[in-house]
Structure 1
Amino acid sequence: MWNIKEQIVSAAQSMKIEVKELSVSETKNIFHQLAIKYADGKNRFPLWEHLTVQLAVNNSDAWRWIGEYIADSEALLLFNPTDEKSSFAIVGGSNVVKILSEMFNVEFYVTNKAFDYLFCFNHHDVLIASGNSIEWLKKYKTPQYDRFLQ
């Protein structure tokens, strides 16, 4: 099994990106708030399987697109609790993408402190958007980018 926190810390140090680790209790609270807002209050994992309103695009590179959406704001990077119990605050979408590019294939979630949006990228290479990010992701919902495996 890989150690996600070690991968994040190592990548952040080598690229000189500031990453703030959030505690396990803070992370549980974030998932609780996300479940209330996006999954009918049911805090079950993987969370992406229980989202009530979403838009999904199947593309192995779709996780790279979230940098554009996040832009210069702070994002919270979370993982299924069985993989990593802490979460991480990172400023700048390009920094989030840089950190993720140094990691092994892992499912992850990205949101902000206000929980205005939620992105999930799963092991099926599907980028899932909920909240305010749905409208933004629609521009990628084209045959060129959306390669669903049927």
Structure 2
Amino acid sequence: MSQVLDEISTAIKNLSLESSVVRVINDEDLYKNLLNHFVKGGDRRWWWESFNVESNSKSFSDGLGYKRLPVIVPDKDEVVWFMVEDDQLPNYPIFECSISNAVKIIGECFAFEYYLISKNLQWLLCENHHDRVIGIGSKLDFGNAI
């Protein structure tokens, strides 16, 4: 297992999140479909460097951008794909969980880049190592994220 997956597994355990609310998705085809849908030019370490449509973003110098996610997304309880960057693995790990649970998990872990992706592919939200939250999709609202 990778360091990122170890950290996430520990966070899930510490938060007492059952597998019914945070599910690991082992699907290379899903990864490739998401990559092809959102990124131009093929696989790369940082998807946010090459989104295939215009994005919006906001920096949070306090390093707590993840805490603002529930006010940016259309529904904080929506079940989404939570994908974490991990360069030790051939594909980024993908989990299925609510945005609220993803925020809890992120809060328990060391810093890593992640992507929250609506299952209908209408939006994508990520945070990079520059403390910048970046989003694609008209349903995202950065206006309330202070």
Q: What TM-score comes out, normalization by structure 2 length?
A: 0.79
Identical positions, percent: 21
User: Which whole-Å deviations, capped at 9, do the CAs of 1:42-65 have from their partners, x for residues lacking one?
Assistant: 333310000131001010222212
Amino acid in structure 2 at the alignment position of 1:56: S
Per the alignment, residue 124 of structure 1 pairs with 130
Per the alignment, residue 89 of structure 1 pairs with 96
Amino acid in structure 1 at the alignment position of 2:54: V
Amino acid in structure 2 at the alignment position of 1:22: I
Per the alignment, residue 8 of structure 1 pairs with 8
Per the alignment, residue 148 of structure 1 pairs with none
Are the structure 2 counterparts of residues 37 and 139 from structure 1 closer, same or farther at C-alpha, using a change threshold of 3 Å?
farther
Give distance in 2, aligned partners of 1:11 and 1:37.
Answer: 30
Amino acid in structure 2 at the alignment position of 1:3: Q
- 3-state SS in 2 of match to 1:30: helix
Give distance in 2, aligned partners of 1:130 and 1:138.
Answer: 14
C-alpha contact (below 8 Å) 2:85/2:93 kept by paired residues: no
User: Which residues of structure 1 form unaligned runs of 5+?
Assistant: 146-150
Per the alignment, residue 43 of structure 2 pairs with 43
Are the structure 2 counterparts of residues 83 and 73 from structure 1 closer, same or farther at C-alpha, using a change threshold of 3 Å?
farther
C-alpha contact (below 8 Å) 1:35/1:41 kept by paired residues: no
C-alpha contact (below 8 Å) 2:114/2:126 kept by paired residues: yes
Give distance in 1, aligned partners of 2:105 and 2:87.
Answer: 20
Residues 1-150 of structure 1 correspond to what in structure 2 (within 5 A)?
3-18=3-18, 19-23=22-26, 26=27, 28-40=28-40, 42-51=42-51, 52-59=53-60, 60-68=63-71, 69=73, 70-84=75-89, 85-90=92-97, 92-134=98-140, 136-140=141-145, 145=146
Please tell me the root mean square deviation across aligned C-alpha atoms, in Å: 2.2
The 4+ residue runs of structure 1 with deviation greater than 2 A are 28-45, 67-70, 83-86
Number of residue pairs aligned between Structure 1 and Structure 2:
135
Deviation at 1:73? 1.5
Deviation at 1:36? 3.2
Give distance in 2, aligned partners of 1:37 and 1:58.
Answer: 25
User: Which residues of structure 2 form unaligned runs of 5+?
Assistant: none
